[in-house]
Amino acid sequence: MNAYDFDETIYDGDSTRDFYFYCVKKFPSVLKFLPYQAFYFALFVFGLITKTQFKEKFYIFFTAVKDIDGAAADFWKSHKSGIKKFYLETKKDDDVIISASPYFLLAPICKNLGIKHLIASDADKLTGKYNGENCWGEEKVKRLKAYDETFEIENFYSDSLSDTPLARLAKKAYIVEGEKLTDWNEYEKTHKKSILKTFLSPEFTAFLIIGCINVLTGVGFSSLFSLFLPANFAFVFGYAVSLTISYFLNTFLAFKEKISFAKYIKFCISYLPNFIIQNIFVVVLYNHLGINKYLVFLLSAILGVPVTFLFLRFFAFAKKEKK
């Protein structure tokens, strides 16, 4: 028997994220939950809530989707093409899929592909509430044993080292990057080096320089707008202009990509965690602990740099493997 993770493993994307954006287009009212979701994301980033608790809060958008089973089925009609070629060429009748994504979301595509064994997070499709823990890490091993203790994994495939507990049960395990398969043990040896390489890259250096320019343009345009607008409005408009300039500079100089409206939206979204983190730092360290505000501003800005860069590198300007 072969076992597979789903997202970024046999499916070229994150099914929950893609389903969310699909729902935004079909049911725009789901956007009303965005501030609520962003707040709990910040709590999760700071370790104040678990991943399961964050996902429950994020899945509140289910409540705004009429006929969510129908929406899930329609979603896969336009996203089935995301199933990777390597899986379609190697799949077997006894394959098992083990995923952190909601069961109801993956059930339609698994049925379509003839996959009989699906283990996934049990999230209520009407409320988003979890029955049990998020199916991730060690929890996947528990779910597999509870599903069928007799299963013996010949080959295991995943895109993430978070699945190492499950990989250890397999006779052979592989990390999946696009259509490329890498031996699990070999990938583990080089992974730490690759993380360091990310922050020693020319992209990161260019990002830092552009960040300095972004600060100057933000201050400059905010000051300009303040000549004829209230300060709060001037800041918002100045920030928006500097963010747009930053997008063009990062696109051409740091990540060397083509201009795209979709990537511009992702670029703006990538700055949300930075914005949330900095505001939480100000509230906690300045308002509640009384630490010098300039020191707080500096610390929050420094912390926001690697977070924003990782979102840009692996979300807004993510490079897909060539097939």
Query: Between 71 and 239, where is the model more confident?
Result: 71
Say if CB 274 and CB 308 are below 8 A apart: yes
pLDDT band at 120 (very low <50, low <70, confident <90, very high): very high
Q: Is the pLDDT of residue 323 over 50?
A: no
Separation CA 248–CA 213 (nearest Å): 12
Element (H, E) at 209: helix 202-225
φ, ψ at 239 (rounded to 5°): -65, -45
- Cα angle value 188/193/197 (rounded, 5°): 140
Instruction: Name beta bridge partners: 98.
Output: 119
> What digits encode the pLDDT tens for the residues 231-269?
667 777 887 888 899 889 888 888 888 888 888 888 888
Nearest to 34 by CA among 236, 135, 46, 42: 42
Helix axes 293-311, 261-270, angle to 10 degrees: 140
141-191 pLDDT tens trace: 999 999 998 889 999 999 999 999 999 999 999 999 999 999 999 998 777
Which range among 110-119, 121-130, 219-228 shows the weakest confidence by mean pLDDT? 219-228
Query: d(Cα 155, Cα 230) in Å, to the nearest integer?
Result: 62
Residue 17: pLDDT band with limits 50, 70, 90? very high
Q: What is the average pLDDT value for the chain, to the nearest integer?
A: 87
What tokens appear for 257 in the block? 């990509």
Tokens of 139: 């929890």
Separation between Cα atoms, residue 123 and residue 62, nearest integer Å: 10
Query: Tell me, what's the pLDDT at 321?
Result: 47
Q: Is 204 helix (H, G, I), strand (E, B) or coil?
A: helix
In this structure, is the dihedral angle defined by the CA atoms of residues 205, 211, 296 and 308, taken in order, positive or negative? negative
Evaluate if pTM is beyond 0.75: no
Confidence of residue 34 (pLDDT cuts 50, 70, 90): confident
* pLDDT of 184: 94
